[in-house]
Structure 1
Amino acid sequence: MAADHARRTRSTSPRPSDIKTPERCPHCNSTRLVKKGTRTKKLETVAMMKCKACGRTFTPGPRALRNKTYPLTEILEAITTYNRGHSLAETSALLSSRYGHTVSGPTISRWVNQHLALTTYSRLRSAGKRLYSPRRLIRTSKLYHRQVYEFAYHRAKLDLLRKGMLDPFIQSRASQPFQRLANFIESIPTACPHALFTREDAVRGSQLGAAFIDTGSLQVIERQNAATDTAALIIPGVGSNHQRHALLQRFMLVNDAATIAVEVPIWLDEAGIASLEAEHGIELVPKQVSPDGGHAPRQVTGHIDFLQVRNGCLHILDYKPDARTNQPFAQLTIYALALTRLVPGLRLFNIKCAWFNETAYNEFYPRKLVL
């Protein structure tokens, strides 16, 4: 009886929304915002905001979900649970049990169909179900590298990549490097030199200077695509800075057809650095010369936010909240160079790099910077 009462209390008492407080007015882009009371919905209480510039009152959160009965977190979880391979009935039962109120199968089906552009894995879902159960579809490993990283990869997508079924633009004669990429990703939990990532003398890829690259002839292509649209759906709806990034990664890994892994570690030792420097005629990491004329061994480490395979290329993506002003050319280029060492046969020609947020996706070819 007590448990029944707790479930009824959970389902009838709207909880505070965890939607991120907006920084700008969605109507006039002003930052002059003040809180203007709350709006109580069936399942959550949402803060109202007023813009002092244009005078309009609005509810925070992604525009597409602003008038939904269910909280954003439940909608995203329902879509993700379904695309992991659960049936609509199973997804309904799992969500209803977790949140204490009914989430019907037809409602979940409607959510899935409303976001088909962001959930392109739907075309591969049947094939994925034949390969792995929902529980085994995603493999996750915690990497204790100075801080904790949640490395994860999509097992069905890697299998389909090996079979030439993930990306129709990868021809059979060019598929071998991508097959080796799948092997590399699966080997990371055991093959990664984890101790290297905790050393104080290892240089982080995000901290490298840009002296080794030449941006003079670089062309950056700015666009909006599924990555920006997914970020625009998820980021404004999550109040915790820590959770936003992880939720975006988990959603894209399960739901789009391109993302094969997240938080992928990369590393280079002295031999790898020297080989790349000789191949491209650059100096990646300055040498610390010792009194005897030698130098200390150099190491570079880093973690790739998203790895995608689409349109015949490997895409290295980095989420940057300040994507308009932050230009991580050196960081992303070192990630690309490291992968050409870690994955036999993979070339810079096969790789594109990009950084993005909710409004901007900036893409470039790393081979243009070092060749």
Structure 2
Amino acid sequence: MIKQISFKHGWWYFYRVHEPKTAELTTNYPSLKKYLYDMFTDCPHDYFLIEPRSSKLRFNLNNLKLKHIDKHEVTELTKQGHVHNATRYQSAHSRVQMFMLENDRNTLAIEVPLWLNAEELQGYEKLFGTKNPLTGHIDALRIEDDKVWIWDYKPNAKAEKFASTQVFFYAYMLSKRTGIPLDNFRCGYFDAINTYVFNPNTCQFTHTEQETLQELQKGF
């Protein structure tokens, strides 16, 4: 039912795909299904051993329209995961992720590996200071109302300063890897109390390197 593999990407990541839910939920997203299965055999592991990583980005994308939601479904799943998996897993991430994968009807994969090549974003080298691929791992991938949702669990979501940037680039990377338009994605980060969501398509990259940098680096 759950297909899994361990990746040594600096430290250990446990990539898992719920096969029945993936078959059911990706009917309109065949390229996403293909990508999820390709990662079991064709993940470029060397990319993940070097910087930059999305989780370490320290700038804001000021034109994201971040929305706070009380009592979102994922906060309830988080609470249940902490209780249900309290003795099964030591880390809060694993408790939440595995509960969602095993019990939530919309979660189809966790720790999904992603990367972005320098030529896939104008101004990349100036923005990140390198031509090395940007990498990351999605905490929880869901499909709801025919939108692909990128979720990141943050134990203290309210205090996060750069989580929206991290999750935006997850969506941007998965869009590039699958060919799914960015408007088909939604993003969020959460804990057991707070949920923050946004539409990544509201962040429009400009046409020149300098303009791109000016837009992206306002939060530095």
- TM-score w.r.t. the length of structure 1 is 0.51
Q: Does 1:209 align with 2:50?
A: no
| 1:150 alignment partner, one of 14, 17, 22 | 14
SS of corresponding position for 1:355: strand
Matched, 1:230 2:65: no
Is 1:304 the counterpart of 2:138? The answer is yes
CA distance in structure 1 between the aligned counterparts of 2:128 and 2:96, rounded to whole angstroms: 38
Rounded Cα–Cα distance in structure 2 between residues aligned with 1:284 and 1:324: 31
Q: What is the alpha-carbon distance in structure 2 between the residues aligned to residue 236 and residue 287 of structure 1?
A: 40
Instruction: Name 1:261's counterpart in structure 2.
Output: 109
Give the letter aligned to residue 207 of structure 1. K
Q: Which structure has the larger Rg?
A: 1
Which one of 271, 276, 286 corresponds to residue 127 of structure 2?
Answer: 286
C-alpha deviation, 1:317, in angstroms: 0.5
> Structure 1: which 5+ residue stretches go unaligned?
1-136, 165-174, 289-295
Residues 317 and 354, structure 1, Cα contact 8 Å, conserved in 2: yes
In 2, the alpha carbon distance for the partners of 1:285 and 1:139 equals 39
Per the alignment, residue 109 of structure 1 pairs with: none
Corresponding residue for residue 343 of structure 1: 178
Q: Which amino acid aligns with 2:171?
A: A
Could you tell me how far 1:208 is from its partner in structure 2? 1.7
If asked which structure has higher relative contact order (CA below 8 Å, sep 6+), I would say: 2
Deviant stretches of 4+, over 4 Å: 282-285
- Is contact 1:153–1:261 with CA below 8 Å preserved after alignment? yes
Task: Determine the C-alpha separation between the residues in 2 that align with 1:240 and 1:326.
Answer: 27
Equivalent position of 1:182 in the other structure = 33
Aligned-partner residue type, residue 140 of structure 1 = Q
Give the aligned partner of residue 198 of structure 1: 49
> SS of 2:132's equivalent?
coil
The total of aligned residue pairs comes to 203
- The structural deviation recorded for 1:286 is 2.5
Shift in Å, 1:236: 5.4
Alpha-carbon distance, 1:192 to partner: 1.1
Instruction: Note the alpha carbon deviations across 1:341-360, whole angstroms, 9 max, x for none.
Output: 1002x111011111111111
Cα distance change on mapping 1:235 and 1:183 into 2, 3 Å = same
Query: Is the alpha carbon distance of 1:240 and 1:153 closer, same or farther for their aligned partners in structure 2, counting shifts above 3 Å?
Result: closer
Partner of 1:73: none
- Asked whether the 8 Å contact 1:161–1:179 carries over to 2, the reply is no
Distance 2:20 2:82 in 1: 27
How many Å apart are 1:298 and its aligned residue? Answer: 2.7
Structure 1 residues 182 and 284: alpha-carbon distance in aligned structure 2, compared to 1, 3 A threshold: farther
Greater shift, 348-357 or 235-244, is seen at 235-244
Paired amino acid for 1:160: E
Question: 1:25-75: per-residue Cα shift (whole Å, max 9, x none)?
Answer: xxxxxxxxxxxxxxxxxxxxxxxxxxxxxxxxxxxxxxxxxxxxxxxxxxx
SS of structure 2 residue aligned to 1:190: coil
- Report the alpha carbon displacement of residue 241 of structure 1 after superposing the two structures with TM: 8.0
Query: Secondary structure of the equivalent of 1:370?
Result: coil
Q: Specify whether residues 307 and 198 from structure 1 end up closer, same or farther in structure 2 by C-alpha distance, changes over 3 A only.
A: same
The 5 Å alignment of 1:51-70 reads none
**In the aligned structure 1, how far is the partner of 2:25 from the partner of 2:172?**
22
In structure 1, distance between residues paired with 2:4 and 2:45: 16
RMSD: 2.2
Matches within 5 A, 1:9-24: none
Instruction: Decide whether the 8 Å contact of 1:142 with 1:149 is kept in 2.
Output: yes
Compute the displacement of 1:285 (Å). 5.5
| Partner residue in 1 for 2:5 | 141
* Superposed displacement of residue 219, structure 1: 3.8
Unaligned 5+ segments in structure 2 are: 206-220
Higher strand share: 2
Distance apart, 1:209 and its partner CA: 3.0
TM-superposed CA distance for 1:240, in Å, is 8.9
Residue 259 (structure 1) shift: 0.4
Match of 1:369 in 2: 203
Amino acid at match of 1:326: E
Q: Residues of 1 paired with 2:124 and 2:116: CA distance?
A: 14
